[in-house]
């Protein structure tokens, strides 16, 4: 596990396009890993479909690019990702 990775068990979701990362409702966001190179647009991770941005994955991020927060970010509405281009990202979170 990467340095600074969360200690509790986490859920994961794989997305290739804009959409919900978790079921609607509160959760804690822990990070991501890029599994298919991103295109020319960034990925925005938000609290809800159009809420606050809690993370940004830069455009053209390579496979293996990852970031794990040592302490999660609480998202009361739920997690959504807005893809500015192509690619695949696995997101890590806990529900509740």
Local mean pLDDT, 10-residue blocks, the chain (96 residues): 64 95 91 97 95 96 94 94 97 94
Q: Is the pTM of this model over 0.85?
A: yes
Closest residue by Cα to residue 54 from 36, 84, 29: 29
* pLDDT at position 3: 59
CA dihedral 94, 67, 39, 53 (to 10 degrees): 60
């Amino acid at each position: 596990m990467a340095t600074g990775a969360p200690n509790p068990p986490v859920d994961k979701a794989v997305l290739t396009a804009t959409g919900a990362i978790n079921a609607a409702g509160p959760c804690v966001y822990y990070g991501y890993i890029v599994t298919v190179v991103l295109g020319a647009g960034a990925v925005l991770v938000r609290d809800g479909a159009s809420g606050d941005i809690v993370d940004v994955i830069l455009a053209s991020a390579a496979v293996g690019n990852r970031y794990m927060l040592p302490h999660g970010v609480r998202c009361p509405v739920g997690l959504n990702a807005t893809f500015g281009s192509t690619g695949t990202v696995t997101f890590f979170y806990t529900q509740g």
